[in-house]
Amino acid sequence: MTEQKSLLAVFHDLEPAADAVEQLRRLGIHDDHMSVISGVPVTEPMLGRPHQWTNVPRIAMGGAAIGMAVGIALSFWAPNMYAIRVGGQPFAPVPPAIIVIFEMTMLGMLLSTFLGVFLDSFFPNYRPLHYVPEISDGKFAILVECSSMDETKITDMMKKMGAESVQDAEAQHL
């Protein structure tokens, strides 16, 4: 059984990092064993990586549905609990009800989206993480999990692709 190693390669620019991701794929490293670490937002197409699916839209739609149900309850159920006749108007006038339903729908979506992003990003994370300080200076890093037999092959390839440094990654508490 081979020992798993974690290698961290630091690149000065995004283009060599994207090329290195492509070369890693050609070497047989699956996307699940690669992580790109960046201090700036980088989308998957910029690196040629597959789109990552998230549950945030489903959570947001669920929150919108709950918010709409609360808005409908506030607009139509609550006035019928305490019926007060005023000048022949209906118990629940529709124009103000539309505003209340809309606002409660948006409030439910906003709160559930925040909660979904919070939970989907595993924040706060108290586990040890791989990190190098150069990432805060605008550089890009690729974390590769590989077998110890492939370590020299991957290290040589990363340096050839323009990595400033390739080192063993050790998870540490930030």
What are phi and psi for residue 123, nearest 5 degrees? -105, 135
Q: Determine how many CB atoms are found less than 10 A away from the CB of residue 144.
A: 24
CATH number of the domain to which 43 belongs: 3.30.70.120
Query: 21 and 106 share a domain?
Result: no
**End position of a domain, from candidates 120, 137, 153:** 120
Query: 15 and 46 share a domain?
Result: yes
Rounded-to-integer distance, Cα 101 and Cα 173, Å:
45
Query: 81 and 94 share a domain?
Result: yes
Query: 103 and 20 share a domain?
Result: no
List all residues 6 or more positions away from 153 whose beta carbon is below 8 Å from its beta carbon.
27
- Closest Cα partner for 11 from 161, 124, 174? 161
Residue-wise pLDDT for 70-102, tens only, equals 999 999 888 888 777 777 777 778 889 999 999
- Closest Cα partner for 26 from 155, 147, 149, 157? 157
Q: How confident is the model at residue 1 (pLDDT cuts 50, 70, 90)?
A: very low
Query: 49 and 132 share a domain?
Result: yes
Query: 39 and 18 share a domain?
Result: yes
The reply to whether 136 falls in a domain is yes
The reply to whether 157 falls in a domain is yes
What are the structure tokens assigned to 83, written together?
Answer: 């019926």
Number of domains in the chain: 2
pLDDT at 108 over 70: yes
What are phi and psi for residue 74, nearest 5 degrees? -65, -35
The reply to whether 174 falls in a domain is no
| Residue 44 belongs to domain spanning | 4-53+128-168
Q: Give the pTM.
A: 0.64
Query: 62 and 110 share a domain?
Result: yes
% of the chain beyond a pLDDT of 90: 24
Residue-wise pLDDT for 25-44, tens only, equals 888 888 888 888 888 887 77
**End position of a domain, from candidates 120, 138, 159:** 120
